[in-house]
């Protein structure tokens, strides 16, 4: 397994390893992987495909491509070196970056194993999610990574969600509820992942 910080490997291999493990929407991952085709293979610099070209190659809209770039910038995976000029048909130029704190991003483990639900222990596939806010920050719903997805509604039957059962057990044990844990939820994320870098 290639680690993102393994300086002996070419940048392209380290970048692809990081993006493959990143738990974000598929649109962000595909834009990041496609953008690498336009960057220097050894250091990730000089990436300047137009949003129109990336939209054509990925099948997403230009708006989705712009949102993906904003997400990559917010996660410190891309630095905008220069802004393009639309009427001159120039694209923004980016340097793709593997940040020093890459291991703090929501990632699969090095072996890409499934996660274990914190309540029932069932093996689950974590669903990538990220929300880009107006202030430019990216937020994740960590609950979607560490608990079984809620059951689909069935006629007259209400199954309890694993999250609700976990919250009730925490309350009975006198432990903090999910909303009171703040950044402590990332410790629970690593616990559910169980496959640390």
What pTM, to 2 d.p., does this model score? 0.87
pLDDT 10s digits, 67-120: 999 999 999 999 999 987 776 777 889 999 999 999 999 999 999 999 999 999
Written as six digits, the tokens of 63 are: 């708006």
pLDDT confidence of residue 91: 87
Cα–Cα separations (whole angstroms), residue 5 to 13, 43, 80, 125, 159: 11, 12, 21, 25, 44
- The pLDDT score that the predictor gives to residue 2 is 87
Tell me the average pLDDT of the chain.
91
Contact 93, 39 (CB under 8 A): no
For position 31, what pLDDT does the model report?
97
pLDDT of residue 147: 94
Distance of CA 183 to the CA centre of its chain: 17
How far apart CA 24 and CA 106 sit, in angstroms, is: 8
Confidence (pLDDT) at 109 = 92
Q: What is the pLDDT of residue 156?
A: 53
Distance CA 187, CA 184 (A): 5
pLDDT of 35: 97
DSSP3 helix / strand / coil % (the chain, rounded to 5): 40, 10, 50
* pLDDT < 50 stretches in the chain: none
């Amino acid at each position: 397994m290639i680690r993102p910080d393994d300086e002996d490997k070419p940048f392209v291999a380290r970048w692809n390893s990081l993006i493959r493990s990143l738990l974000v929407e598929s649109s962000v991952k595909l834009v990041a992987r496609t953008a690498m085709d336009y960057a220097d293979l050894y250091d990730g610099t000089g990436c300047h495909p137009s949003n129109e070209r990336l939209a054509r190659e990925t099948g997403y809209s230009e708006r989705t491509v712009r949102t993906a770039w904003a997400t990559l910038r917010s996660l410190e995976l891309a630095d905008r070196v220069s802004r393009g000029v639309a009427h001159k048909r120039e694209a923004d130029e980016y340097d793709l970056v593997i940040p020093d704190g890459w291991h703090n991003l929501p990632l699969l483990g090095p072996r890409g194993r499934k996660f274990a639900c914190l309540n029932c222990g069932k093996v689950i596939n974590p669903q990538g999610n990220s929300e880009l806010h107006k202030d430019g920050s990216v937020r994740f719903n960590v609950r979607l990574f560490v608990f079984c997805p809620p059951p689909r509604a069935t006629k007259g039957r209400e199954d309890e969600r694993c999250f609700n059962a976990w919250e009730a057990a925490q309350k009975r044990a006198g432990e903090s509820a999910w909303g009171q844990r703040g950044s402590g939820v990332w410790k629970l994320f690593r616990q559910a992942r169980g496959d640390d870098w």
